[in-house]
Structure 1
Amino acid sequence: MGRIYLKVSVVYFSIGVLLGLTMGIIHDFRLTSVHAHLNLLGWVSMALFGLIYHFYPSAANTQIAKLQFWLHNIGVPVMMTAIGIQIWTGEATLVSVAVIGSILVVIGVLLFALNLFKQVDS
């Protein structure tokens, strides 16, 4: 499980860096929050999940870890896409889509915490 988290984190990192580069080239920084969240929730969080699961394989080999992976990797793109489109178009109805994505991410993070407390000895 740790490996897949690390590999997916690099995809988020690449997208975040390319978005940052594109914003710099065109001098339009409206998507700064999307760029920051892709790097923090995608790259940093996923890499940390991957490293932690690598060092604690008992936590990685649970249904909670798998559920957390999918919630996070559905929630982040849904949230980022909705926020990005909302910023570009001003379409306020996408707030609810961004909230749904955010809730998926929050549930995933809470499952990660629960999983670590249950599986990692103190």
Structure 2
Amino acid sequence: MKIKVDSPHGTVWLRLAAVYFVAGVWLGIYMGASGDRSLYPVHAHLNLLGWVSMALFGILFRKFPAMGASPLAQAQFWLYNLGLPALMLAVTAIHRGYRGLEPLAGVASVVLGVAVLLFAVNVFRNAGN
């Protein structure tokens, strides 16, 4: 079976990475202009977990199409893309004084952690195929 080299799964990750890159940069601009740096953890996570990690997922899924074709990729995609926005909203609220959302941040972190584990398993099983 021949797998298409230009994995649409990789393209989706790259497009999402671009969205998070824009969000992270504009949050940084807002913080710099306003002098309010209280959301620096959100800014950092948008850039690292959103822009950088998603771009790397996309590049790797395009480079190793077997990774994108794996059922692990589908589970990773949904867990990551449900966990990351939930974490960003929770961390934003927490840094704005709404400490009641700390459990949501914890659950979202675990969801992201599981997605990352799935990605790692996928790398070991399918990278290079």
Would the TM-score normalized by the shorter structure come out above 0.5?
yes
Within 5 A, what are the aligned runs for 1:1-122?
Answer: 1-88=9-96, 90-121=97-128
What is the alpha-carbon distance in structure 2 between the residues aligned to residue 51 and residue 81 of structure 1? 27
| 1:50-85 Cα distance to aligned partner (Å, 9 max, x none) | 000100001111111011011111111100100101
Deviation at 1:14, TM superposition (A): 0.5
Which residue in 1 is equivalent to 2:3? none
What is the alpha-carbon distance in structure 2 between the residues aligned to residue 26 and residue 64 of structure 1? 42
What is the TM-score when the length of structure 2 is the normalising length? 0.90
Deviation at 1:46, TM superposition (A): 0.2
What is the alpha-carbon distance in structure 2 between the residues aligned to residue 28 and residue 80 of structure 1? 17
Question: Please, which runs of 5 or more residues in structure 1 have no aligned partner?
Answer: none
Percent of residue pairs bearing the same amino acid type: 43
Question: Please, which runs of 5 or more residues in structure 2 have no aligned partner?
Answer: 1-8
8 A Cα contact 2:64 2:128, kept in partner: no
The one-letter amino acid paired with 2:111 is L
Give the aligned length.
121
